Amino acid sequence: MTATSRTNPSHRGRPTMLGQNQYGKAENRVVKITRDGDTHHIKDLNVSVALSGDMEDVHYSGSNANVLPTDTTKNTVYAFAKKYGIESAEQFGIHLARHFVDSQEPIHRARIRIEEYAWERIENSDSGSQFIGADEVKHSFVRQGQETRTAQITYDGERWEVFSGLKDLTVMNSTNSEFWGYVKDRYTTLKEAYDRILATEVTGVWRHNWTSDEDRMPNWERSYEQSRKHMLDAFAETYSLSLQQTLYQMGARVINSRSEIDEIRFSLPNKHHFLVDLEPFGMENETADGAVYFAADRPYGLIEATILRDGAEALIPVDLTNL
């Protein structure tokens, strides 16, 4: 992810050389059902594999002698879902990354990216349902549709790097947000605001400080659930003078509350809700009375920052979109 070029010093006489490269099968959609008697559980993932290593030949001459086919990496995803089950996205990625690096000599590094889609049970609402009597339906689900959970697991044979995250989580405060006291230059026309809507679609990625098989692994499911809760709490509770301030509070709350996390980065579009000018129609539109807003698409403010535990190294890339 960092732009470390892999030079090819022995490749003399050529005016070009190969830099960072990786390959694998992307977006393997795997669903695993677990049956616990009549009660079923779902794990629904989208898994992307990226492998790096001794890959000069395949680029220079087309020799595939070091290339495990992307099709094989796909097969491995499905076989491992059966072999190990899917305890969590992170744990599943760890199984896969370890396998590729440990079993293939030319592969020095594996990066597994995962999206997870959450499902919730359809609750049986009628106690006296004619169809199933007193029995509960335990195999019926509706997709939650809120955020997509993300994970990225990287392994080089020695050190683990685990990112967790989420995207597409849209949140709004309908008050307790202001924006004023900013720089005014000759191109500034914006009016200051003392009671505005603050809405954003959260993309966040956080880095766990677990890096070694020697250390105790975090509880990935609980860590995710708690991190998400702290973010939402901080968003709701911060009286905001800028989206940057809210962002920092969200990140600091996670770092302060979760000792397993050392770094977090957010990309927060400012989903503008503009007060509509109803004066031409002889109407007022005051926020205090409950106002009408135009929800704009583009352009949008985009606020991005990393928050770190003091002394921690910054390892999350600046551009989050792909994760």
Question: Which range binds a copy of itself by CB under 8 A, 13-21, 90-98, 159-167, 214-222?
Answer: 13-21
Binding status of residue 91 toward a copy of itself by CB under 8 A? no
Residue pair 28/48 in contact by the 8 Å Cβ criterion: yes
All residues at 6 or more sequence positions from 42 whose CB lies less than 8 Å from its CB, including other chains:
31, 32, 33, 34, 119, 141
Is 104 in contact with 160 (CB distance < 8 Å)?
no
Q: Between β-strands 160-173 and 119-121, what pairing exists: parallel, antiparallel or unpaired?
A: unpaired
User: 204, 260 in Cβ contact below 8 A?
Assistant: no
Q: Cβ closer to a copy of itself: 54 or 217?
A: 54
Compute, in degrees rounded to 10, the torsion defined by CA atoms 271, 276, 277, 281. Answer: 170
List of residues 6+ apart from 183 with CB closer than 8 A: none
31 binds a copy of itself (CB under 8 A): yes
What residues numbered 118-137 form the site for a copy of itself, per CB under 8 A? 119, 122, 124-126, 129, 131-132, 137
Out of 54, 91, 108, 291, point to the residue binding a copy of itself (CB under 8 A): 291
Please report, in range form, the residues annotated as the binding site for 5-hydroxyisourate: 70-71, 179, 196, 244, 270
β-strand partners of 160: 155
What's the CA gap between 227 and 221, in Å, rounded?
10
DSSP 8-state code for residue 130: T
Closest by alpha carbon to 275, among 288, 265, 262, 264? 288
Q: Is 84 in the site for a copy of itself (CB under 8 A)?
A: no
Q: Which of 206, 207, 146, 144 is nearest to 171 (CA)?
A: 146
Q: Residue 194 or 281: which CB sits closer to a copy of itself?
A: 281
Q: Which of 89, 218, 255, 258 binds a copy of itself (CB under 8 A)?
A: 255
Specify binding-site residues: 70-71, 179, 196, 244, 270
Question: Residues within the annotated binding site for urate?
Answer: 70-71, 179, 196, 244, 270
Q: Is position 256 an interface residue for a copy of itself (rule: CB under 8 A)?
A: yes
- Return the range that interacts with a copy of itself (CB under 8 A); candidates 88-96, 156-164, 214-222, 269-277: 269-277
Q: Which neighbouring-strand residues pair with 115?
A: 46, 150
- In this structure, what token pair is assigned to residue 83? 């072999």
The encoded tokens of residue 183 equal 């720089």
Element (H, E) at 72: helix 70-84
Q: Pick out residues in 44-83 that bind a copy of itself (CB under 8 A).
A: 44, 48, 50, 55, 58-72, 74-76, 78-79, 81-83
Q: Which is nearer to a copy of itself, 186 or 216 (CB)?
A: 186
**Closest CB 177 distance from a copy of itself, rounded Å:** 10
Q: Is 141 in the site for a copy of itself (CB under 8 A)?
A: yes
294, burial (CB in 10 Å: exposed 0-12, middle 13-18, buried 19+): exposed
What is the footprint of a copy of itself within residues 167-206 (CB under 8 A)? 168-176, 179-190, 197
**Residue 219 in the binding site for a copy of itself (CB under 8 A):** no
Which one of 74, 271, 272, 273 is the catalytic residue? 272
Residue of 32, 40, 41, 70 with catalytic role: 70
State yes or no: residue 283 binds a copy of itself (CB under 8 A): yes
| Residue number with CB closer to a copy of itself (181 or 214) | 181
- Shortest gap between Cβ of 315 and a copy of itself (angstroms)? 6
Please list the active-site residues.
25, 70, 272
